Structure 1
Amino acid sequence: MHINQNFDSGNIIVKSIQENSVQLEIRDDTNSEFKQWFHFNANAEVGSDIRFSILNAADCSYEKGWENYQVAASYDGDYWFRVETNYENKQLVFSHKFETNSVYFAYFAPYSYQRHQKLIHSAQCEANCSHLVLGETVEGRNIDLLLIGDSAKKPIWITARQHPGETMAEWCAEGMIEQLLDEDNAIAQKLLRSYCFYIIPNMNPDGSVHGNLRSNFAGANLNREWQEPSKEKSPEVFYVRGMMQKTGVEAYLDLHGDEGLPYVFVAGSEGNPSYTETIKHLETSFSDNLKAINPDFQTEFGYPKDEPGQSNLTIASNWVGENFDCLALTLEMPFKDNANLPNKETGWSPSRSYMLGGSLLAALYQTLN
């Protein structure tokens, strides 16, 4: 048995390897105490039945995230399935019988930095798409923006993966981008007659590469940096926010994943000081439209609503909604499965995240028109 995590988004510490048992720990995010993301490769003889135990699961950021959670696994790095997992005695325990020598295990299907770069460079080849570099991250990686449509038209902003371990967010953004670039997609073409899309598929490439859950390389939680970002600690937010102030924002979606809740849902800006009946109507309309378009979305379960005037303006969607008086929502997808429409083999998956991206466009079209 051999364990390796020395690759893009790898994260695991090997504590001990015995004949049919492996003890592991998840390491902290870089310069931060957050931890929950893991991604590693295991190599063993075909037919081996190995029990894996993550010893420090109870010390991770969201212990409730392990309840009814199933580890993601893949033989080829493309198709990801779930393996039987239990949270017992404060440890995350899963077993697997090897059908090939090597298998990847991860908290959720990874979205690699290589795939991110391919997405950016493929998109820019389309006639109505431009690639802008807004600045550099703490470690010097590009902060990539895809501008789709005519910049003279009303701006819709989409950000994804402020929290790098929430890879479903970039899978969702990819689905949205590819639908927008499809000349045969009537909804996309109709939207682009009135709107221009500014899409950041990965707000946190440093954290993504390092296998972090929530932090950038400096240890900042980007979705708590929107009121006072800095070039030193949170340049990713500093440059994106600066671009928003130049373009304005007509509508905004911030794409995320939630560790605990097994549902797709949105969080609105009802706690903002300037919240109005108009914004409330837009939020309700968007939710109703998305629920009608894609049954994966629901409105029964979600976060508690903020009291009037009590929103946290360091959060992206609250800051954007307050400063631009627009529809601004945080969209959450599960790390687990969708409890309303479960798929035992894959759980919530890249393909469902991707398809949701297209549904978001349809909901925006219905709501804004």
Structure 2
Amino acid sequence: AKNRYETKTLSFGSQFESGNLSQAIRIGEFEYDLLLSSDTNSMCHVQWFYFAIYGLKRRRKYRFNFLNLEKQDSLYNLGMQPLMFCPLAASELGIGWKRVGTDISYYLNPFTKVTNERKRASCYSASMIFKLPDRFSDDNPNSPHFFSYCYPYTYRNLMTDLANLQSSRKHCFKKSLLCKTLGGNDCPLITITNFSETKAVNIREEEPCSETNLFDDDLSFLPVSQRRYVVITSRVHPGETNASWMMRGLLKFLTSDSAEAFSLRNHVIFKIVPMLNPDGVIVGNYRCNLAGVDLNRKWSKPDISTSPTIYYLKRLLLKIHGVASNQKILAFIDMHGHSRKRSLFMYGCQEGKKSTEAYVELLPNLMNRRCEYFSLESCNYKVTKAKSSCGRVSVSRKLKIPFSYTIEASLCGSDTYHFHTSHFERMGRDTAKAIWDLVNPNQDIVKEVLQSLGVAEMENGIIEDDMEACGQQNGNPSSRREADVCPDVQKHSRSNQVQKVGKKKTIRKACPQSKSNSSTFVKRRHSKK
């Protein structure tokens, strides 16, 4: 149980949403050993912490030792610092979360623990010295200071943000219910598009959207019935709170009045699940839901009794992709946080299909052009056996789409600085902008990137070609049963690929210049940053 544990000098508490601290043991005058709670109904997954401290004094140094961490390595060894928040400093001085801690180290300790498989596993420690930041008050001993692994973003924060968007952006934003969680909480499903069937218009890129600067453009609008779907999810792992901040930036941009957002809503229907694991977020888990299940390992065969959010989301994807002949899912993106790598990067799914390998690398290259925090070198497109049941792999295989990704933001930052919530929100915004580059009727940017990847130019643009190359059959499949959708797609996949390659030669060039072109492109983009 995550209760408040009192010591002679300091007292600790985690009885609030997303809180996690199991025990605090005073071992010296100003030194404490701390034990974190494992995930609910699990004996593993110990990394996330978020707790309150009472009685801290200014100019006094404290040492905290976290004793029961699990990962063999951590960004703590590369300079990552945890965060501290003072409510009084926030209300009186406008000071938010601050990075704290010096002499931080992460190492193997002599303790062991029992795993879910009833085996003994090693424990690791994170040790650090910290003192109250300047201007953080210590006048009121009953006023807490909060200590956290990363910037918290709770289920309550999400529902507040969604309520604000629902009231102010009704023309393009709708909130519905995906399902109820095991804990009885709502798992929201967001739809973002231009809901009007009226002929839409484009706007000048440098100006906000208004009635006075609109002008007609035949390429600026697709009827709702012809728009493709982009599905974006986040927070399947509760302790990866930065994923919610990315999602927040994406939602703010997609519902904004900017030119690119307006055009995106005219071309795409976004289906968004901003928090796939509300229960885990509420109780302060790191990775699992209330059943002790890692939801991102249940996509292959989700169980409605233990992983309802994945079950109902997968059913929704199959329904969209199988019934709407002109409204297939174009892309799937799952937002995560990474505890052992820096920067922002993507994982894709290249599984030996030469006709689609370049497509998999397309969106990461578009992100590289858009986002200054993106690291193309950190991207990986190979699929290992351990990842076969995760979201991006299952969606890629089941729906036969090349644009299926996990996007990972470091819980620390870049090589030179820590990420702030504003950085994470800009990452979400830039993700949306890269999607616009993908669907923009003017395909010049897409053609340039594909040429740099060693792919011949296409006649009709990526939107038409990618679905044929991935085996999408013609005709209206609405009469087929939902369970038959994916086998039918797979059945026709090979013949359609052969036709496409023969017609437009949309395959990777078999020439030695292919790799050099790609590296030249990467260097050119990085030099711009």
TM-score (norm 2): 0.64
Q: Which moved more, 1:81-90 or 1:139-148?
A: 81-90
Whether contact under 8 Å (1:34, 1:61) holds in the other structure is: no
1:100 is matched with 137
Determine the structure 2 residue equivalent to 1:334. 410
SS at match of 2:316: helix
The alpha carbon displacement at 1:46 in A equals 3.6
Task: Tell me how far apart the structure 1 counterparts of residues 426 and 66 of structure 2 sit (CA, whole Å).
Answer: 35
Partner SS for 1:67: helix
In the other structure, the counterpart of 2:438 is: 367
Structure with max Cα Rg: 2
Alignment of 1:180-191 (within 5 A): 180-183=254-257, 185-191=258-264
Using a 3 Å threshold, how does the CA distance of structure 1 residues 89 and 193 change in structure 2: closer, same or farther? Answer: closer
CA distance 1:230–1:88, change in 2 (3 Å) = closer
Aligned residue in 1 for 2:34: 24
Contact 1:74 1:80 in 2 (8 A): yes
Pick 1 or 2: higher relative contact order, CA cutoff 8 A, min separation 6.
1
User: Hey, what's the Cα distance between the residues in 2 that align with 1:171 and 1:323?
Assistant: 29
Q: Is residue 368 of structure 2 the alignment partner of residue 291 of structure 1?
A: yes
Shift of 1:290: 1.1
The match for 1:2 is 11
| CA distance 1:7–1:218, change in 2 (3 Å) | same
Match of 2:287 in 1: 214
In 2: Cα distance, 1:166 partner to 1:49 partner: 31
Q: Deviations over 1:61-81 (max 9, x none)?
A: 454344223112222378222
For 1:176-225, what per-residue CA distance to the aligned partner results, in whole angstroms no more than 9, with x for missing partners?
11111112x11111111111101111100110011111101111111100
Runs of 4+ in 1 over 6 A off after TM superposition: none
CA contact (8 A) 2:245 2:421 kept: yes
Report deviation, 1:302: 4.2
Alpha-carbon distance between aligned partners in 1 of 2:148 and 2:307, rounded to the nearest angstrom: 27
- Among 324, 329, 344, which residue is 1:264 paired with? 344
- Do the aligned residues in 2 keep the contact of 1:62 with 1:259 (CA within 8 Å)? no
**Conservation of the 8 A alpha-carbon contact between 2:233 and 2:274:** yes
Task: Output aligned runs, 1:85-234, within 5 Å.
Answer: 85=102, 86-87=104-105, 90=108, 91-98=125-132, 99-101=136-138, 102-125=144-167, 126=169, 127-149=171-193, 150=195, 152=225, 153-183=227-257, 185-234=258-307
Contiguous gaps of at least 5 residues in structure 1: none
- Structure showing the higher helix proportion among its residues: 2
1:84 to 2:101 alignment: yes
| 3-state secondary structure, aligned to 1:242 | helix
What is the deviation of 1:105?
A: 1.1
- Residues 89-142 of structure 1, C-alpha deviation per residue, up to 9 Å, x if partnerless? 543122222332332111100101211111222222222111110111111111
CA distance in 2, matches of 1:302, 1:180: 25
CA distance in 1, matches of 2:57, 2:386: 53
Change (3 A) 1:255 1:7: same
Q: Which runs of 5+ in 2 are unaligned?
A: 1-9, 109-124, 139-143, 196-223, 322-328, 441-529
Distance (whole Å) between structure 2 residues aligned to residue 83 and residue 143 of structure 1 = 34
Structure 1 residues 51 and 61, CA, compared in 2 at 3 Å: closer, same or farther? same
Q: 3-state SS of the aligned residue for 2:376?
A: coil
Q: Deviations over 1:148-176 (max 9, x none)?
A: 11463211100001111111111101111
Deviations 1:313-357 (A, max 9, x none): 311011111122221110001111212xx22xxx12221110111
Distance 1:19 1:72 in 2: 23
Aligned residues: CA RMSD: 2.0
Give the partner amino acid of 1:255.
M
| 73 and 277 in structure 1: CA distance in 2 versus 1, 3 angstrom threshold | farther
Amino acid at match of 1:10: G
Contact preservation (8 Å) 2:267, 2:439: no
Provide the rounded CA distance (Å) in 2 between the counterparts of 1:281 and 1:88. 39
One-letter code aligned to 2:17? D
Secondary structure of the residue that 1:300 maps to in structure 2? helix
Give the match for residue 60 of structure 1: 70
What is the distance in 1 between the residues matched to 2:172 and 2:31? 53
Deviation at 1:245, TM superposition (A): 1.5
Residue of 60, 72, 76 corresponding to 2:83: 72
State the distance in 2 between where 1:92 and 1:312 align.
28
